[in-house]
Structure 1
Amino acid sequence: MSQLKKRDLLEAIVGQPASDGDGVKLTRVFGGSNSARFDPFLMLDEFGSDSAEDYIGGFPSHPHRGFETVTYMLEGRMLHEDHMGNRGLLEPGGVQWMTAGRGIIHSEMPQQDHGTMRGFQLWVNLPAAEKMQPAHYQDLPADAIPEYATGNGGSLKVIAGALELNGAAMSGAITGKSTEPLYLDLHLTPGEQVILPVPGSHNLVSYVYEGDIEVHGEERQAGLKAGRLGRFDKGDLLELKAGGQGARLLIIAGKPIGEPVVQYGPFVMNSEAEIHQAVRDFQQGTLAG
């Protein structure tokens, strides 16, 4: 039996300020150029402000085709509505996993005019064979997200995928996806250490949104502070240790698709011709069939 390999930190990425929708201020953690190294993931945005002017405009009606969006709310309330008459209210701790498939036109609007709005949106690519499937949703309230104790005072929310921790099997709310995504929200107490198994075939990133962690680096101990994304080398195990203030972080891994990616705004396909078709379909009102 071969020895299990710890994943080394390859690079630390600092998210960039951005604006989307109707002036919503956010941090683009990754996305855009050189996206192949994150395959099957396309983008991760963090939004968070206690100033209503930073989020009140929301995300008015807009289209998507060819991928999935995953919205995870930490604080605040956001209403989703689409052209098919679907409505869903995202509240603190809730998740919406939306498969845009062949097309959807929807809006995401804040349901508050004061207080904090905070959370994340992850874009997950679909393989070519699945891009033109009908759109559908999985809307999950906070109590539908399994949460497990780490054994040393911390906790682990398993949004998607399955893993073992300290010999115990842990299964998430979302399973059965072809890209086999693993999406975790890990809370560690000060100085707490965990070792998580991750499939060796998967690309892996981790985003620290509070506190800081030490991670296994190339022949050295490396760290990630709040607001930094770590991208890891191939391996079987992810070893993490929280700093003196503890840490809260997302761990995101998935099986690479390995297909060409051509993106034009909210359309993600495999060729320029398919992008042109998506634009025509949108203009002609046939994006979603």
Structure 2
Amino acid sequence: MSIRPVTETRKAVPTMEGAGVKLHRAFGFQDPTELDPFLLFDDFRNEYPQDYQAGFPWHPHRGIETITYVLDGSVSHADSLGNTGDLNAGDVQWMTAGSGILHQEMPHGNSKGQMHGFQLWANLPASLKMTAPRYQDVESKDIPTVVDDDGTSVRVIIGEFWGKTGPVDGIAADPQYLDVSVPAGVKKTFNIDTYRRAFAYVFAGSGSFVDASKPTGVLLEKEVMGEEVNIRDMSGNRTLIRFGTGDEITVQAGDEGIRFLLISGAPIEEPVAWHGPIVMNTQDELRQAISDLNNGTFITPAH
């Protein structure tokens, strides 16, 4: 077994999207090869309704899949195919935009006005850019949770893990999407298939991710223990961890434990032509998509 090196650790950056929703972006709208097949990851977490209630009014998508995971509050959605519904705490929606869809997402707070969720964008390969749009709405009760003897718990949203299979299926990137909680002081190793690109996003607690390329971790924090210098990455709230190649990662939970998303997928390794919510392979395809949007032919059957 080989531990994946930590290639980068960085904080999510505050930004604004939709009609004025305040959120934190871990990556997106930069180098599309960075975490291929994933293009963007947003953490929308707010304490006050004025920071999110304007929501994400009607907007288009083509050529990608969007994955929305709600932790607190809810999100009402509607689309150009006539679908409507609500995502509540613990629910997941995996939307394949394919050939084109218009939709809106409007967040609502819990009883205290708080809202928290994540959205991930996954690219589609050229062969599926114009596939028929579809939704997979998954309720919290249908997402399996497996708990190990040391108290580590994992919600398996997609993929197979520890004998459980997530309810979302048929996704082009063959991803694995896990919500991992490791108790205080516990050191835990997780296997990841070597062909997948992988990242973790820490959103509660703190901990260190072992880096095989350095003595004991990532050079972010040093503790002098006699003559020994123990080098650790003490990753905390809203931290993205990018991993290199290997078949496992190891995390040491901090004093409050650590909770993070562990996401991996098979790289597509194709050219990317990207304009906002539309992601194609060539500039000609991108221009065609924008033309379709402008002349009213954006919503078409798969072909």
Which TM-score band (shorter chain)?
over 0.9
Any conservation in 2 of the 1:163–1:198 contact (CA below 8 Å)? no
| Distance in 2 between residues matched to 1:265 and 1:106, nearest whole Å | 14
TM-score using structure 1 length? 0.95
Name the SS for the 2:246 alignment partner. Answer: coil
Match of 1:61 in 2: 58
Match of 1:123 in 2: 121
User: 1:10 aligned to 7, 11, 15, which one?
Assistant: 7
Bigger mean CA deviation after superposition, 176-185 or 273-282:
176-185
CA deviations over 1:200-236 (Å, ceiling 9, x no partner): 0111100100111211112222322221101001001
CA deviation after TM superposition for structure 1 residue 176, in Å: 3.4
Any conservation in 1 of the 2:72–2:109 contact (CA below 8 Å)? no
Mapping of 1:13-52 within 5 angstroms? 13-52=10-49
Residue 251 (1) aligns with residue 262 (2): yes
User: 2:77 aligned to 77, 80, 84, which one?
Assistant: 80
Any conservation in 1 of the 2:210–2:251 contact (CA below 8 Å)? yes
| Distance in 2 between residues matched to 1:39 and 1:133, nearest whole Å | 20
Residues 172/104 of structure 1: CA separation in 2 closer, same or farther (3 Å cut): same
Match of 1:232 in 2: 243
Q: Which amino acid aligns with 2:217?
A: Q
- CA-atom RMSD in angstroms: 1.2
Mapping of 1:184-223 within 5 angstroms? 184-217=178-211, 218-219=213-214, 220-222=216-218, 223=233
Match of 1:163 in 2: 161
| Distance in 2 between residues matched to 1:12 and 1:261, nearest whole Å | 25
Residues 195/60 of structure 1: CA separation in 2 closer, same or farther (3 Å cut): same
Aligned residue pairs total 282
Name the SS for the 1:221 alignment partner. Answer: coil
User: 1:142 aligned to 135, 140, 151, which one?
Assistant: 140
| Distance in 2 between residues matched to 1:283 and 1:175, nearest whole Å | 33
Q: Which amino acid aligns with 1:11?
A: E
Mapping of 1:246-285 within 5 angstroms? 246-285=257-296
Gaps of 5+ in 1: none
TM-score using structure 2 length? 0.90
CA deviation after TM superposition for structure 1 residue 112, in Å: 4.7
Any conservation in 2 of the 1:63–1:104 contact (CA below 8 Å)? yes
CA deviation after TM superposition for structure 1 residue 12, in Å: 0.4
CA deviations over 1:244-286 (Å, ceiling 9, x no partner): 1101100010000000011001100000000000001111111
| Distance in 2 between residues matched to 1:74 and 1:195, nearest whole Å | 25
